Amino acid sequence: MDVKQIRYKNLQKLGAKFGQLSVLSEKLQSERPNDFTNARYFYQVKPEGRRTIGDKMARFLEEALELEHGWMDKDHDNYAPIAPTIDRSLLIECMMDADAGWSGLDMSTKDKADIVANLYERRLAAKSFADDERQA
């Protein structure tokens, strides 16, 4: 496996850590807006072809996410996966708010789960932004 494929796999792992690539993008945009933090750019990155992760983007991600230099270039398949960080109290709050809103509606469990997940992602991003503003 070449470095382009490894970097692509590692980007997918980072996306999983944050729930999805768009959440990772929002976090990076709030801290360091540039072309690399655009969600569309992340979704266009492929292991082969024209849109791959070059040295500049790899180092940017490592620095922005406080990863060791070269982390994006190493195969982490033999290591434990990066688990998403869950704010349990925020998730429970989202579930309770969503449950109050769909009372009496005929919705599938998947639709309800999608609503809670979207609500959680938005509130988590807003909370991260507010935390960063307080630290600044």
Domain that holds residue 54: 3-73
Q: Is residue 78 part of a domain?
A: no
Lowest mean pLDDT among 12-16, 50-54, 127-131: 127-131
Asked if 7 and 61 sit in the same domain, the reply is: yes
CA distance 76 to 26: 24
pLDDT grade, residue 74 (50/70/90)? Answer: very high
85-104: burial string, b at 16+ Cβ within 10 Å, e else: eeeeeebeebbeebeeeeee
CA distance 84 to 107: 27
Q: How many folded domains does the chain comprise? A: 2
pLDDT in tens, 24-69: 888 888 777 776 677 777 778 887 777 888 898 899 888 888 889 9
User: What SS3 class is residue 104?
Assistant: coil
Asked if 58 and 105 sit in the same domain, the reply is: no
pLDDT in tens, 104-124: 778 888 888 878 887 888 787
Asked if 69 and 7 sit in the same domain, the reply is: yes
Range list of H helices, the chain: 3-17, 21-31, 39-44, 55-64, 88-101, 109-135
